[in-house]
């Protein structure tokens, strides 16, 4: 009887235990768990894809006070599984060897797509501490500082012909409502003597990009800085554009651009190439309003007049240009706006759009640059003419990305707004 009663008491106690009040976890602990869960979804379900990586390389030492631009590199990078593969633009194949071997000289880095973020947010050996709330891109962000000991880190640094694993210290910022990663800083610690490196770190900014099968969180830009023990610093400014799902004939598609608008389904289009230095005049098809627009929104335009090179039409009137809103940043008395156009389609043809913005409709916007640049280009009539561009400041040019500013506290860029682009040619370095 007593034993049976004891069993009954145990069973009742077991049933009642979940109903008892549990200690409430601190808000920052729950928030971190949600951020890591979202990061798990974002970083482990990315399809194979390729992007164009543009790297501006700069150096500084005491003898040259301002930063000095050394060169610029452009490479195609493929993210396949957990690997990053690289190729020079136009190469038939990606190479499965370190980027430093492909480039040959100067500072380079890899791992910006998922490796750094996986280590910081998903690795069990990453110890994170709440750093407070901050505003970033007009959104409320939670900052967490993290550390990974050298023994458990996946980060390695090379210098003076040697390579060594190092520890990691950094911070990441995530939206407090969507829990989406927005920025990541990582610095190497416990750097061994003999590498000739005093410090090295990378800052990465993330945004959502729409590819064929959905929206994916990808890096948009990164900055890597290295201070040498012998003195002087190196800085790489990295931008990722033209991201598309990796397939033999894949192109970007946008949720707001239908197959009818683009002319046909991308997979049935014949690939063609538009020569460099050809003027392409376009008009905007997608109105952009500051009150409702978001970075990542689909943007489309149409070619206004036949673009001609050596007597042949290379981009006909009516061809559809597809892209997205890459930048929308409010400053004092104006907005800075950036369009990224990537794909040009007409009939059964598709061309990768690689061009720089040369002029924008003065009724609505102004170019962001102001310095004189001259070159010979081919106008829409097929004539070779000298082009003079006035730029506001030396800005690192990204193929297919045009940046301009719109005066005022709000704006609408209407359907029909005109722009003029000039096609460019990719190269190993410039």
Q: What is the pLDDT of residues 43-54, one digit of tens each?
A: 988 888 889 898
More confident residue, 213 or 14: 213
Interatomic CA distance for residues 352 and 321, integer angstroms: 10
Residue 264 pLDDT more than 50? no
Interatomic CA distance for residues 120 and 173, integer angstroms: 11
Residue 267 is predicted with a pLDDT of 53
Report the share of the chain in percent with pLDDT over 90. 49
Structure tokens of 280? 């392409």
How is the chain split into domains, by residue range?
28-245, 259-423
CATH architecture designation of domain 28-245: Clam (2.50)
Q: Are strands 270-272 and 349-352 parallel, antiparallel or unpaired?
A: parallel
Residue 224 is predicted with a pLDDT of 96
What average pLDDT does the segment 330-341 reach? 88
Backbone angles phi, psi at 186, to 5 degrees: -140, 135
Report the share of the chain in percent with pLDDT over 70. 81
CB 183 within 8 A of CB 203: yes
Judged by average pLDDT, the poorest of 63-67, 79-83, 295-299, 353-357 is 63-67
Residue 228 is predicted with a pLDDT of 92
Structure tokens of 308? 């001609």
What average pLDDT does the segment 330-350 reach? 90
Judged by average pLDDT, the poorest of 29-43, 62-76, 405-419 is 62-76
CB 53 within 8 A of CB 238: yes
Q: With bands split at pLDDT 50, 70 and 90, how would you rate the model's confidence at 385? A: low
Interatomic CA distance for residues 331 and 408, integer angstroms: 10
What average pLDDT does the segment 217-246 reach? 90
Structure tokens of 110? 């890899």
Judged by average pLDDT, the poorest of 17-26, 237-246, 251-260, 290-299 is 251-260
Residue 391 pLDDT more than 60? no
Distances (CA, A) of 226 to 64, 98, 229, 235, 323: 17, 19, 10, 7, 34
Distance of CA 356 to the CA centre of its chain: 17
Closest CA to 170 of 189, 157, 154: 189
Judged by DSSP in three states, 59 sits in strand
Beta bridge partners of 222: 204, 238
Residue 379 is predicted with a pLDDT of 62
Interatomic CA distance for residues 202 and 236, integer angstroms: 9
Host H or E run for residue 27: helix 27-44
- 343: alpha, beta or left? (left if phi > 0; alpha if psi -120 to 50): beta
Q: Is 412 exposed, middle or buried (0-12, 13-18, 19+ CB in 10 A)?
A: middle
Q: What is the pLDDT of residues 13-35, one digit of tens each?
A: 343 445 455 567 899 999 999 99
DSSP-derived secondary structure for 212-274: TTEEEEEEEEEEEEEEETTS-EEEEEEEEEEEEE-STT-----TTS-HHHHSS-GGGPEEE-P
Residue 48 is predicted with a pLDDT of 87
Residue 428 is predicted with a pLDDT of 52
Per-residue 3-state assignment (H helix, E strand, C coil) for 103-121: HCCCCCCCCCCCHHHHHHH
Residue 246 is predicted with a pLDDT of 66
What CATH number should be reported for the domain whose range is 259-423? 2.40.128
Q: Considering the chain, what is the average pLDDT of its residues?
A: 82
Q: With bands split at pLDDT 50, 70 and 90, how would you rate the model's confidence at 326? A: confident
């Amino acid at each position: 009887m007593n034993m049976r009663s004891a069993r009954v008491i145990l069973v009742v106690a077991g049933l009642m235990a979940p109903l008892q009040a549990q200690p409430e976890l601190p808000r920052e602990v729950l928030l971190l768990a949600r951020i890591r869960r979202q990061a798990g979804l974002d970083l482990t379900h990315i399809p194979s894809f390729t992007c164009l990586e543009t790297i501006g390389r700069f150096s500084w030492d005491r003898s040259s006070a301002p930063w000095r631009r050394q060169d610029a590199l452009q490479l195609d990078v493929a993210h396949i599984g957990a690997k990053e593969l690289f190729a020079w633009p136009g190469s038939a194949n990606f190479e499965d060897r370190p980027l430093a071997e492909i480039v040959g000289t100067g500072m380079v880095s890899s791992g910006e797509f998922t490796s750094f973020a996986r280590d910081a947010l998903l690795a069990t050996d990453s110890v994170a501490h709440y750093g407070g709330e901050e505003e970033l891109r007009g959104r409320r962000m939670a900052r967490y500082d993290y550390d990974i000991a050298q023994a458990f880190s996946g980060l390695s640094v090379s210098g003076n012909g040697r390579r060594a694993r190092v520890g990691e210290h950094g911070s990441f910022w995530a939206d407090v409502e969507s829990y989406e990663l927005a920025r990541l800083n990582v610095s190497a610690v416990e750097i061994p003597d003999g590498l000739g490196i005093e410090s090295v770190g990378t800052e990465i900014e993330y945004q959502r990009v729409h590819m064929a099968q959905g929206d994916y969180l990808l890096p948009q830009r990164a900055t890597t800085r290295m201070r040498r023990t012998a003195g002087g610093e190196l800085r790489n400014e990295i931008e990722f554009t033209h991201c598309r799902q990796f397939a033999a004939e894949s192109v970007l598609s946008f949720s707001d651009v239908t197959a009818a608008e683009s002319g046909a389904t991308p997979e049935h289009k014949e690939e063609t190439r538009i020569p460099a230095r050809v003027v392409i005049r376009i008009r905007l098809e997608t109105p952009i309003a500051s009150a409702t627009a978001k970075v990542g929104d689909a943007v489309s335009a149409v070619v206004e007049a036949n673009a001609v090179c050596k007597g042949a039409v290379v981009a006909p009137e009516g061809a559809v240009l597809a892209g997205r809103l890459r930048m929308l940043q409010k400053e004092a008395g104006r907005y800075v706006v950036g369009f990224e156009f990537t794909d040009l389609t007409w009939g059964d043809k598709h061309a990768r759009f690689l061009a720089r913005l040369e002029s924008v409709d003065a009724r609505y916007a102004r170019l962001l640059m102001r310095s004189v640049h001259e070159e010979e280009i081919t106008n829409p009539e097929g004539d070779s003419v000298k082009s003079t561009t006035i730029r506001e400041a030396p800005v690192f040019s990204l193929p297919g990305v045009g940046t301009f500013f719109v005066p005022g506290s709000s704006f609408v860029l209407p359907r029909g707004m005109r722009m003029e682009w000039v096609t460019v040619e990719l190269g190993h370095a410039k």
